[in-house]
Structure 1
Amino acid sequence: MRTQLRRDPALIALAAASVLLVACLLTGTGGVRLFWSALPGYDLLIWIFSRRVAALPGLPADARRFWRRSAQAAVLFVAGDLSQTAVAWLHPGPAAAVPNSFQAAAILAGSCWLIWVMLTHPTHLPSTAVKVRFWLDAGAVLIGAGVLIWLLLLPHTGIGGAPVALLLGTVIIAFTGFSAVKLVLSGNAPLNVLAAAPMLAAAVIQGGVGALVTADGTHQRLLLAAQILPAALLALGPRLQEHSARLDPVRAVRPARRPYSLLPYTTLVGLFAALPVVLRDGLGPDVWLLLSGLAATTALVVVRQLLAFRENAALLSELGTQREHFRSLLAHSTDITSIVDVTGALTYVTPATERLLGKSPAAVLGTTVMSHIHPDDLPVFATAMDTLRAAPNASVSYQVRYAHADGSWRWLDVVSRNLLHLPSVGGYVSNARDATQARLLQDELRRQATHDGLTGLANRALFDARLAAAASHQIAAVLLVDLDDFKMVNDTHGHHAGDAVLVGVAERLAASVPVGGTAARIGGDEFAVLLPGSDVRDADAVARRFLDLLDVPVLVDGHQLRVRASVGVVDGDPKAAEALLQRADARMYATKRETQMAQMSSSS
């Protein structure tokens, strides 16, 4: 935006013309005629710039209304100053510096119109109490400012000085007071600080300088040059507002409100500071005026302060109630609420820590949160923390195991949020809920869906899934196992004995499979083993270990039951899973036939 302002041709032309006019007036070139000829041009710029602001898209309706009314006031200023321009050209001389009656009336009407627009501009105050505080502050400021303004002007003009100029100066500075109150106190000013600053400064300068203008021509060059400055500043304000509103129409007219204002207290300090100065000349009308203004302003400030005390007491009481309510909720909550700082240390935990983990808050505070998490779950926790650190207010959910005081582990569902940017928090806030039973049930359901209910080995679905996952290897070995004469065990000893035999076989098979392999029960008395990355030699070693273990009888109801099995061993490309299983199945039946042929030969 600063670059836009430096390149704005209108602002460049306004600044250059103002500098040139001031130089001419200081050197006496043009005099009163030049001054009054230039002044309507500044009024016309106010009209143009105000209408441009009012026409901006997206501008709030109340701000648009203000700038339209400002343009209307500028029309009155143009008319009044043009009348004085005619007087200056028809009757040049020092007397032409003093406003004529029509010009004074036009300027007064325009100023009063702006004051009315400011008074009726919506404040958007949220409640009656806030409105009362606003008007108390406004009254204190306006009374105090009015007294100080009068005292400022009175020594230079006297009661019989230039009453028209004094009246105009007072009215202009009164408008400044209203504008300042609206800008600082209401929170809904129709212009931002950037635009208001030059306009308020212009009003103050115009009010002070205008009261010094007299018909005797004293310091005429300096006074006329000084009055060009407020004219230029008044035209500058709407142009700056236009630039701000083009970037953000709403924020340009509605900046964030401050929760309090120092303006009434500043005014009161100014009145007290003026008291010793006024008392130097003894008791007089100015002293009584100052004392009256001081009393009225003090009364308004005191009333405002008493209201503030009462509101603060009510707020403190409500805050205490809410704090007690909040503490009660945390004390009896079943969830753990904690805060972890940037180093990973716990800086706050709720009493639920003792109920869920058997640890008192005092024993947990100061320790690192990682020291309470199961080692296998630390990668999950690290990933969650990386997500939290990515941005302020980031949130993440995860589930990890926390150590209980009795040595067991508890699954906790955790929701964490990054609130490091909040000074009142300064850490990662987490809410943790016990999910142990739900997790155990979930794990059990998952196990039941993927494992054989009798033997505990992987079922056919899990075996097929592991075989499909083995496609990432170039080779895999498969063993298919079929028990021989298992039907005889069921027929002779009963199904319970058959189940015991299946369990015993499963135990021996699982003990034979190395880490990374999968042992599964894929049918009634059929088993399978998957060895990703292994060849037939590795599979033969597994088969031998299994058959060696199977030589040990299975003890059932005091009976030692011997079990024999046929094993088919193959290796190949795991991507061709179906073909690999068919080959293993064919090899298993070939082995079974060879065993049967050997038995028949030995018996004959």
Structure 2
Amino acid sequence: MASQPWFGLPGDSRLLRLSGALLGVFIVWLIVTTIHPVGPMIFLWVPIPAGGVVLTAVYWRTSCDPRLPGPTRRFWRHLTAVAVLVTAGTSSQVAEVLDNPGGGGLQTNPVMVAFNGAAVLLIVYALARLPLDRQTPGQVVRILLDAGTVMLAAGVFMWYFQTRPMLGREDTTTVVGSLALTAVALVGVFAVVKVMLSGYSFIDTKGLRLLIIAMAVGTVAPPAQTALQAYGARAFPMQIGLPAMFFFAAWAGEQQRVAAAGGASRRGSPSRRRRYYSLLPYAGVAAVDGLLIHVSWVAKANDPVVVGAAVLLTALVVLRQITAFRDNGRLLDQLNHNATHDALTQLPNRARFNTELHRAVGGDPGRSVAVALIDLDDFKKVNDTLGHEIGDLLLVAVAQRLKDCVGEQGMVARLGGDEFVVVLDGADPQAGDLVADRIVEALRLPVVADGYELPIRASIGIADGHTRDEPSVLLRHADIAMYAAKNLPGTAYLHYHRDMTGIRSNDPAHFGSGPLPTPGETPEHRQRLDQAADTALVL
């Protein structure tokens, strides 16, 4: 039977409860000792390495959970090694404190720097191996700028509260070690923020947030301790910070395992995740601005590093916004293109054609405007016999030929299905004939699509008009002429004239005596289509 949740922690988490109990007992014992020292000093320091041991056990159990995907287990295996390194580094600090009680609490030593530096680099490696969501080049630039902004803000605080007070010390080894650890920590901050902003597919959302909290606690504790000691305080924030860091880190690992047990989505919610973390760079700028106010007004100091960092952070945010504006502009252009163009042929669609035709007939009075409607005969047979994929290839090839024929003289659009339309602004009937002749010649050659040779027969109707004509009337006239052209052999075109009014199919009364070929059924064209169909059936 599963145990009940304890203060909001996952229900079946004995190791996590042990980590929380160590933190709680330590805080109580520290308060009691601060009021009235009692008991041996070792009781104040043992919970720190003990918390690291519990953290290692939690991560190892999570990394061995078979319900988690491979990349997730690999990530937590790397963090298990990180927990071992951090535990070894903090244990060396505790050993130094117990060996030198008058040394002033936890101090930076070469052993700790080596272990913690290796731990941070291993975290960066683990994050680098996480499969992340795909990003556009603009998104990558913004992510790097945001991560750099947060890293710079963290670096300013570390320098002001931890590194700067140590610069006057005679212990060069301690100063160099602190600087090296700070630099490595900043690399870790950059990597974590980059993952947060890039999108993570294999880490539980809540677990990653808890891991970030743990890293934040571990990052803030050293400069806080240095700052308090500078003012003569006797409290050691790292005494509380390290057990708290171990607790939140253990909670992150346990949350990943519990999420897998409950069948929770490991992908999280992209919209919530991106909205939550997009505030990080602005929070970093606000924090450095607050530090600038503190340095200028409270501390009455003129610190060029803080001032320069504030200016640089502002420049990074401005650059980030410029990049975002450019990406938004490209996105709007793409959306506008998708709204006005056919997805298959990339030609203008019906909406764009209507806009262009209204613009043409609304121009200067007396200008000629021609509309040519083009319909592919027997296109349905190609789809039914060879498949829609071959039909799509045929449409794309015809669209490109029409575009090459019209060039800069007009606009080619796809109305839908196998119907295309051309708008010729300023073209008289003779110019329309030249374009139509080029189209007939271009469609004379068959289209080779996926190994099939497909003959083309098209019927073209041209409506000659002028500015101030009704667009719908021009299109209707072109439609009538196109249906009349279907009665002619091969690919042919006709200009609309009044005698065609009402014609929608072959009507011998309007074209003299004698039978006319059925639309799309000229002997040569029918023979070529039948050959293509027979080839498809054989293959």
TM-score between the two structures when normalised by the length of structure 1: 0.47
Q: What's 1:145 paired with?
A: 154
Structure 1 counterpart SS, 2:145: helix
Structure 2 counterpart SS, 1:56: coil
| Aligned mate of 2:283, from 250, 266, 270 | 266
Q: What's 2:261 paired with?
A: 246
Q: What's 2:92 paired with?
A: 83
| Aligned mate of 1:20, from 8, 17, 25 | 25
**Alignment pair present for 1:297 and 2:306:** no
Residue type of the alignment partner of 2:126? V
Q: What's 2:333 paired with?
A: 317
Q: What's 1:231 paired with?
A: 246
Structure 2 counterpart SS, 1:160: coil
Task: Report how far residue 169 of structure 1 moved.
Answer: 7.5
- C-alpha distance 171-227 of structure 1, shift in aligned 2 (>3 A): farther
Task: Report how far residue 187 of structure 1 moved.
Answer: 0.5
| Aligned mate of 2:139, from 130, 142, 163 | 130
Task: Report how far residue 185 of structure 1 moved.
Answer: 0.4
Kept in 1, the 8 Å contact 2:51–2:243? The answer is: no
Q: What's 1:541 paired with?
A: none
- C-alpha distance 309-224 of structure 1, shift in aligned 2 (>3 A): closer
Kept in 2, the 8 Å contact 1:114–1:175? The answer is: no
- C-alpha distance 53-182 of structure 1, shift in aligned 2 (>3 A): farther
**1:232 & 1:7 partners in 2: Cα distance?**
16
**Alignment pair present for 1:46 and 2:81:** no
Residue type of the alignment partner of 1:118? L
CA offsets 1:171-219 (integer angstroms, 9 cap, x no match): 6863673365135301116533422334333333333332326699952
Q: Which has the larger radius of gyration?
A: 1
Task: Report how far residue 256 of structure 1 moved.
Answer: 1.8
Kept in 1, the 8 Å contact 2:203–2:256? The answer is: yes
Q: What's 2:270 paired with?
A: 256
Structure 2 counterpart SS, 1:224: helix
Q: What's 1:490 paired with?
A: none
Kept in 2, the 8 Å contact 1:54–1:64? The answer is: yes
**1:216 & 1:53 partners in 2: Cα distance?**
42
How many residues are aligned here?
330
Task: Report how far residue 102 of structure 1 moved.
Answer: 1.6
**2:254 & 2:113 partners in 1: Cα distance?**
26
Structure 2 counterpart SS, 1:97: coil
Kept in 1, the 8 Å contact 2:211–2:249? The answer is: yes
Kept in 2, the 8 Å contact 1:206–1:227? The answer is: yes
**1:97 & 1:247 partners in 2: Cα distance?**
41
For residues 20-419 of structure 1, what are the structure 2 equivalents within 5 Å?
Answer: 20-28=25-33, 29=38, 32-95=41-104, 97-119=106-128, 121-153=130-162, 159-160=168-169, 163=175, 167=179, 170=182, 174=186, 177-178=189-190, 180-188=192-200, 191-211=203-223, 212=225, 219-220=234-235, 224-248=239-263, 251-252=265-266, 255-257=269-271, 261-280=278-297, 284=302, 286=303, 288-325=304-341, 329=350
Structure 1 counterpart SS, 2:135: coil
Greater Cα shift, 267-276 or 151-160? 151-160
- C-alpha distance 100-26 of structure 1, shift in aligned 2 (>3 A): farther
- C-alpha distance 145-85 of structure 1, shift in aligned 2 (>3 A): closer
Unaligned runs of 5+ in 2: 343-347, 355-539
Task: Report how far residue 30 of structure 1 moved.
Answer: 5.1
Kept in 1, the 8 Å contact 2:55–2:83? The answer is: yes
- C-alpha distance 199-163 of structure 1, shift in aligned 2 (>3 A): farther
Q: What's 1:356 paired with?
A: none
**2:319 & 2:236 partners in 1: Cα distance?**
48
Task: Report how far residue 306 of structure 1 moved.
Answer: 2.2
- C-alpha distance 259-315 of structure 1, shift in aligned 2 (>3 A): farther
- C-alpha distance 290-192 of structure 1, shift in aligned 2 (>3 A): farther
Kept in 2, the 8 Å contact 1:198–1:234? The answer is: yes
CA offsets 1:477-498 (integer angstroms, 9 cap, x no match): xxxxxxxxxxxxxxxxxxxxxx
**2:270 & 2:319 partners in 1: Cα distance?**
26
TM-score between the two structures when normalised by the length of structure 2: 0.52
- C-alpha distance 274-291 of structure 1, shift in aligned 2 (>3 A): same
Task: Report how far residue 23 of structure 1 moved.
Answer: 1.7
**2:220 & 2:201 partners in 1: Cα distance?**
25
- C-alpha distance 17-312 of structure 1, shift in aligned 2 (>3 A): closer
Kept in 1, the 8 Å contact 2:138–2:324? The answer is: no
Task: Report how far residue 133 of structure 1 moved.
Answer: 2.6
CA offsets 1:558-603 (integer angstroms, 9 cap, x no match): xxxxxxxxxxxxxxxxxxxxxxxxxxxxxxxxxxxxxxxxxxxxxx
- C-alpha distance 83-320 of structure 1, shift in aligned 2 (>3 A): closer
For residues 526-545 of structure 1, what are the structure 2 equivalents within 5 Å?
Answer: none
Greater Cα shift, 62-71 or 203-212? 203-212
**2:269 & 2:236 partners in 1: Cα distance?**
41
Runs of 4+ residues over 6 Å off in structure 1: 214-217, 330-333
**1:271 & 1:233 partners in 2: Cα distance?**
26
Percent identity at matched positions?
24
